[in-house]
Structure 1
Amino acid sequence: MNYQRPPEAIADLVNLKPDPLMLFGPDRDYIIIADRPMYPSVEELKEPKVKLAGRQINPDRFSPHGSRGFYHPRLRRISTGEDRSFQGLPKGGMYRYFSWSPDGNRIAFCLVTEDGLQLWTCDRKSLHCQPVGESDINNSLGGVPYDFIGNERFLIKRRIPGAKKPSMSENVTGPIVQDSSGKEGSNRTYTNLLQSDYDVALFRYYASSQLYLHRLDTGHETPWAEPGIIAGLGDSPNGKYFLITYVVEPFSFNVPYDKFADRVLLLDREGSVIRELTQRPVVEHLPPAFGAVITQPRRFNWRSDHPAQLYWTEALDGGDPRKNVPYREQLYYLESPFTGEPQKTIKLPMRFGALRWCRGDLAIVVDWEWATRRQVTRRWFPDAPQRQPEVLFDHNWEDNYNDPGSVVTVSLPSDHSVLLTRDGGDTLVMVGNGHRPEGPQPFIDGFNLTTRQKTRLWESTPPYFERPLFFLDEDPDYFLLAREQASERPNFFLRHLLTGEEVRITDFPHPYPQLRHTNYELITYERADGVQLSGELHTPEGFEPGREAPLPVLMWAYPQEYKDADKAGQVLTSAHQFRRISPLSPLPFLAAGYAVFDDFAMPIVGEGDEEPNETFIEQVRMNAEAAVRRLVELGVADPRRIFVGGHSYGAFMTAHLLAHTDLFAGGIARSGAFNRTLTPFGFQAEERTFWQVPETYVRLSPFVHADKIDSPLLLIHGEEDSNSGTYPVQSKRMFTALDNLGKNARLCLLPYEDHGYAAEESILHMLWEMHRWMEMHQRPAAEKAAATARREEAHRQR
């Protein structure tokens, strides 16, 4: 069939102008602003694509497929409000990867050409732009393909000169053979993996690059370091040393490239090797548990407050979190000139998470444990490496109400970040969401390291919902603030932490005034076993439940696993937040007269040693029953016209709800997984494999329960879904089962689309399918009663 459009009231919500890119300069008085494009067309999605080692690469441009960039770059000065456009750029150009030089006097970015990416540079004062070399940048593996080295030099990742694209005839010399290793391991169902020797040759061709050192003052460019597949590069704070990671062969057919074998080297300023730090094998056989890691050195990290000191960690438990050991991690460091042996520092009892630097007597180290959902924040003394860290916060990350927040960092001129402190360095600055039963109120706290006392420095104040985004590097009394209301989209301000003085940065209008006055309410309720639940209820403007007839309702959710029932019911949204209507969300159907119960709570709780998935079906049923009962009690929902839907894991939930309840007139399942035997090494928060609990995998497969689905089910899937576990075959096989069982189902495959849909035509057609499906299947009470009777009879026969 041809692409269709939903009713205009819904279609009008698709092409709303998105917020622009905003990138502050080092002195924070200047902002780069560039506009984001609307949705691409299907024709754009049809651009050439090769799928290799977990990547989708545009072979003409040596860049990730589908990356679009920005247009109309300009510079705004905050103190005057003046906007000036960049000069000398090609008409209609698209640009990516904007960045500032350390001194803020120069801007760099990449122009997207037919041949690839080309580096350009711009003087901040004149805004005159000029290219830096040809459009031969290699960005196949993503990331920013260049870096400022000081203010007038770049390291640029370019294609290998003279490299010849391999031909299939030269690289297919026999059968494809793989041997098992004899080692236990657990890999998710990755997509777009290497399949043949020809794929290996193609990946080598597209991923290999050469770094060049370019000097702006002379225009001279010379090769720097050895060519290869460069997976990472980072300079020391003093700029004299570089850490570089090369992917090495043989490549794997079982995992994506970021798990391939690699070498980590230390280089000097000229790109010469000082020493090899480690060689690591391909990561194919980690223990089958969350938190499993390799046994080789990992997580290399330059100490930000030191000229050149390198840190990393190594597992003490064989990388297996199932082992009972007193310590799981050992940190090491090595200092310039990097000729000695690595020095041991602290040990951590749980898995290493993060390291934030400040000075010799202050760093923050975080370790965590999946089984207990525990995260510990510790103060460490890096200049006394054997001194034990002091626990500052010991937090369960499911407990949002008692989250202490996160430490704030600012950037140094070296582009390395350090902790932001106040009161002569004795007080950390922390930001948090401030979750509480009445909704979140984001905050900024001062945490005194001596007294361990918190001081509230700022807090969001109703009727606004405000979020601190970051502090200014050179003037950290100021922070960027996003402010919104239920009926006002977020705008940005610079605010002084102490005086409250503000400078307005943006003045974005309401993006969809036609829905400005729709109703919103955070609904709380309780499921049968006492777990507290909530959801976001949206109704059309002027609707008064109890005084008007109930509405058709679209309920939309995504399951979340918890280990604690009390924490599962915590409220995470505010009534004062702006409700952004994404065309991929259910909210556009407000324009068609539907009520929308969005993000209604779908907790799956497994306390103690109990795994959440052992009672997944029972819990999604209880969650849905409680939600429907509350909507009917409020007079919002007509029980004959309630639809349920979700994307990805929400689609999996939707199929289960139609199979195991009679609550819904129909369902909409987008890009889901319905046969868990096709994801045998785990899914979502399930870390057990199929062979450990086969009965659980079978029972949790909606495909197995297709005969129980009596309500109509609409399946939508992107034809090129690359997400782990949600192959398009999942929806195809589910539809085939429903079709042959005589069920009411429809399958819509969107050409060229991935896990999330991108093209304007695809999104409009998706909305048409959803609207048409719900309009067709608002079933009368007699039909629903008959379906219930059929289900009860089927259960009796079983």
Structure 2
Amino acid sequence: MYYQTPSPAIADLVNLKPDPLMLFGPDRNLILMADRPSYPSIEELREPKLKLAGRLINPHTFMPHGNRGYRAPRLRNLATNEERPLLGLPAEGDYRYFNWSPSGQRFGFCRVLSTGLQVWIGELSTLQCRPIGAADLNNSLGGVPFDFVGDDQIIVRRRLLGVVRPPDDAPIIGPNVQDTSGQEGHNRTYTNLLETQHDVNLFRYYAEGQLYMVDLVSGEERPWGQPGIIAMLTASPNRAYFMISYVTEPFSFNVPYEKFGDRVEILDAEGHCLVVLAERPPQEDLPAAFGSVITGRRRFTWRSDHPAQIYWTEAQDGGDPRNEAEVRDQLFYLEPPFTGEPVPSIQLPLRFGALRWCRGDLALVMDWSWKDRRQVTRRWWPDAPERPAETWFDHNWEDNYQDPGHFVSVNLPSDHDVLLARDGGNTLVLVGEGHSPEGSRPFIDLFDVEHRTTRRVFTSAPPYYERPLFFLDEYPDWFLLAREQLTERPNFYLRNLVTDEEIELTNFPHPYPQLRDAQFEKVHYERSDGVKLFGDLHLPQGFRPGVDPPLPVLMWAYPQEFKDAEKAGQVTSSPYQFTRISPLAPLPFLASGYAVFDDFAMPIVGEGDVEPNETFIDQVQMNAEAAVRRLVDMGVADPARIYVGGHSYGAFMTAHLLAHTRLFAAGIARSGAYNRTLTPFGFQAEERNFWEVPDTYINLSPFVHANKINAPLLLIHGEEDTNSGTYPMQSKRMFAALNALGKTARLCLLPYEDHGYAAEESILHMLWEMETWMGKHSLGHSS
């Protein structure tokens, strides 16, 4: 069939202009801005793509497939409130990867051409921009393909010269053979992996590159470092040394390139290798448990407040969190020339998570445990690694009401982050969401380092929802604030923490005024076992529950696993947040007279040693029954016209609800997985494999219960879904089963689309399918 379009009220909500890119410079009065791209056309999605090592690569541009550019780059001066266009740029050009030099006297970006990416440099003094070399950057694996090294030099990653692309018609020299390793290893069902020697040759051709050091004053460009597949490059804070990671062969046929083997080196400023820090094999054989890691050196990072210290961690538990261990991870470090014995540092009882640097007597380390849903924040002394760490926070991350927030960092001229310290270094700054039963109220706390006490200095106040985003590096009394309310989209302000002075940065208008007066309510209710639930109820303007005839309702959800029933019912949003409408979410149907119960709670609780999936089906039933009962009792929902839907795991949920309840007139399942035997090494939060709990995998497969589905089910799927586990085959097989069983179903496969849908034609057609499907079906009647 041809692409279709939904009713005008819905279609008008699709192509709304998104907010522009805003990139603050080192001088925080200056912002680089550019217009974000809207949806690509289906023709753009049809551009050639190579599916290699878990990546989609555009073979013409050496870029990730579908990588589009920004338009109309310009500079905004907050002091004068003036916007000026960048000069010397081609009309209608597309641009990406905007970046400032350390001092802010220059800025860089890439121009997107039909043949690839080209670096451009702009001068702040004139806004004049110029290209640096040809459009021959290698960005096949993503990331930013250039970086400033000081103000006058950049490093760029270009394609290898003189290398010929492997021919597609190369003769087949033999079968494709793989052997087992003899070691246990659990890998999720990754897509688009390497399969043949030709794939290997193609991946090598498109992934290998050469770094070049470019002098922006003289224009000189010279090769720097060794060619190879460069996965990572970071400079030490003093820029005298660089850490680089090269992907190494043999490439794996079992995992994507992020898990390939690699070699980590330290280079000097001229690009010469000083030491090899690690040579690691592919990560194919990790234990199944969440939190499993390799046993060698991992997580290399520069110490941000030191000229050149390199840190890493090593597992002390065999890399398996199921093993008993007093010390699970330990940090080590080296200093120049990086050839001595590693210096032991802090030992951690849980799995290492992250580091936050400040100074020699103050750094923070986070470690965590999946089993306990626990994260610990510890203060330690980098210059005295023998000193015991001090626990500051020990937090269950499911307990949103007790979340202390996160410590704020600022960016140094070295392009490394350190903790924002005030009052001579005695005070740190905490920013948090402020979740509570009344809704989220983001906050800023000042944290006394010596006494470990907090003082609240900012709280979002009704009728606004205000979020502190970041503090200005050189002016730490000022922070960027996003402010919104139910009927006003987010706009940005600079706010002074001490004086409360504000500077308005943006004044974006309401993007869909036709829905400005739609009604919103955070609805609270309980399911039959007492677990507290909630959801976001959106009603058309002027509708009076209990007075006007009840409405058709679209209910949309995504299941979440919890280990604590009490924490499953915690509120994590604000009644004052702006109602943002995405065409990929259910809210467009508000424009055509539906009530929408969005993100209605779908907790799956498994307390103690009980895994949530053992009672998944019972719990989704209870969640849905409680939600439907609440909507009917409120006088909102017409019981004959209640529809349920979801995307990905929400589609999996939808199929179960149609199989195990009789609550819904029809269901909409987008890009889901319905046969869990096809994801045998885990899915979502399930760690156990199929052979450990085969009955659980089988019972949790909606495909097995297809004979129980009586309500009409619409299946939508992107034909080129690369998400782990949600192959298009999942929807095809589910539809085939429903068809053979005489059920009412429809399968819509969207050409060229991935797990999320991108093209305007696809999104409009998806909305048409959903609108038509719900319009045709009600309980007791299908047309």
TM-score bracket, normalised by the shorter chain, equals over 0.9
Listed one character per residue, the Cα deviations across residues 327-364 of structure 1 (whole Å, up to 9, x for unaligned) are 10011000112121111111100000000000000000
Counterpart residue number, 1:44: 44
Cα distance between partner residues in 2 of 1:524 and 1:421: 41
Cα distance between partner residues in 1 of 2:336 and 2:167: 46
Counterpart residue number, 2:565: 565
Counterpart residue number, 1:289: 289
- What residue identity is the alignment partner of 1:195? E
8 A contact 1:428–1:446 mirrored in 2: yes
Alignment of 1:199-218 (within 5 A): 199-218=199-218
Counterpart residue number, 1:465: 465
- What residue identity is the alignment partner of 1:556? W
Counterpart residue number, 2:616: 616
Counterpart residue number, 1:754: 754
Cα distance between partner residues in 2 of 1:653 and 1:48: 34
SS in 1 for 2:277: strand
Cα distance between partner residues in 2 of 1:216 and 1:360: 35
Alignment of 1:77-156 (within 5 A): 77-156=77-156
Counterpart residue number, 1:793: none
Counterpart residue number, 1:626: 626
Counterpart residue number, 2:396: 396
- How many aligned positions are there? 783
Alignment of 1:622-771 (within 5 A): 622-771=622-771
Alignment of 1:580-591 (within 5 A): 580-591=580-591
- What residue identity is the alignment partner of 1:765? H
SS in 1 for 2:511: coil
Counterpart residue number, 2:602: 602
8 A contact 1:171–1:201 mirrored in 2: no
Cα distance between partner residues in 1 of 2:735 and 2:161: 49
8 A contact 1:381–1:389 mirrored in 2: yes
SS in 1 for 2:133: strand
8 A contact 2:41–2:761 mirrored in 1: yes
Deviation at 1:723, TM superposition (A): 0.3
- What residue identity is the alignment partner of 2:407? V
Deviation at 1:172, TM superposition (A): 3.2
Listed one character per residue, the Cα deviations across residues 17-55 of structure 1 (whole Å, up to 9, x for unaligned) are 000000000110100010012111000000110000000
- What residue identity is the alignment partner of 1:604? I
1:353 and 2:353 correspond: yes
Cα distance between partner residues in 1 of 2:767 and 2:169: 45
8 A contact 2:355–2:364 mirrored in 1: yes
Cα distance between partner residues in 1 of 2:542 and 2:168: 64
Deviation at 1:170, TM superposition (A): 3.9
SS in 2 for 1:137: coil
8 A contact 2:563–2:605 mirrored in 1: yes
Counterpart residue number, 1:789: none
Cα distance between partner residues in 2 of 1:676 and 1:198: 31
Deviation at 1:573, TM superposition (A): 1.1
8 A contact 2:469–2:480 mirrored in 1: yes
Cα distance between partner residues in 2 of 1:186 and 1:206: 28
Counterpart residue number, 2:253: 253
- What residue identity is the alignment partner of 2:211? L
Counterpart residue number, 2:33: 33
Deviation at 1:169, TM superposition (A): 4.3
8 A contact 1:532–1:568 mirrored in 2: yes
Cα distance between partner residues in 2 of 1:338 and 1:179: 38
Q: Which runs of 5+ in 2 are unaligned?
A: none
- What residue identity is the alignment partner of 1:710? N
Cα distance between partner residues in 1 of 2:149 and 2:48: 34
Counterpart residue number, 1:440: 440
Alignment of 1:40-439 (within 5 A): 40-170=40-170, 172-439=172-439
- What residue identity is the alignment partner of 1:297? R
SS in 1 for 2:779: coil
Deviation at 1:318, TM superposition (A): 0.7
Cα distance between partner residues in 2 of 1:780 and 1:20: 48
Cα distance between partner residues in 2 of 1:174 and 1:724: 30
Listed one character per residue, the Cα deviations across residues 171-204 of structure 1 (whole Å, up to 9, x for unaligned) are 6311100000110010000001001000000000
8 A contact 1:564–1:607 mirrored in 2: yes
8 A contact 2:664–2:779 mirrored in 1: no
- What residue identity is the alignment partner of 2:273? V
- What residue identity is the alignment partner of 2:494? L
**Scaled by the length of structure 1, what TM-score is found?**
0.98
Listed one character per residue, the Cα deviations across residues 612-664 of structure 1 (whole Å, up to 9, x for unaligned) are 00000000000000000000000000111000000000000000000000000
Listed one character per residue, the Cα deviations across residues 293-314 of structure 1 (whole Å, up to 9, x for unaligned) are 0011000010000000010000
8 A contact 1:401–1:434 mirrored in 2: yes
Cα distance between partner residues in 1 of 2:8 and 2:39: 17
Cα distance between partner residues in 1 of 2:125 and 2:748: 53
Counterpart residue number, 1:794: none
8 A contact 1:171–1:198 mirrored in 2: no
Deviation at 1:447, TM superposition (A): 1.0
Cα distance between partner residues in 1 of 2:537 and 2:682: 33
Cα distance between partner residues in 2 of 1:716 and 1:45: 18
Listed one character per residue, the Cα deviations across residues 547-589 of structure 1 (whole Å, up to 9, x for unaligned) are 1000000000000000000000001111100010000000000
SS in 2 for 1:294: coil
8 A contact 2:190–2:723 mirrored in 1: yes
- What residue identity is the alignment partner of 2:37? P
8 A contact 2:716–2:750 mirrored in 1: yes
8 A contact 2:440–2:573 mirrored in 1: yes
- What residue identity is the alignment partner of 2:96? R
Cα distance between partner residues in 1 of 2:69 and 2:601: 35
SS in 2 for 1:538: strand
SS in 2 for 1:341: coil
Deviation at 1:780, TM superposition (A): 3.8
Q: Which runs of 5+ in 1 are unaligned?
A: 785-798
Deviation at 1:286, TM superposition (A): 0.3
1:9 and 2:1 correspond: no
8 A contact 1:172–1:197 mirrored in 2: no
- What residue identity is the alignment partner of 2:239? G
Alignment of 1:465-544 (within 5 A): 465-544=465-544
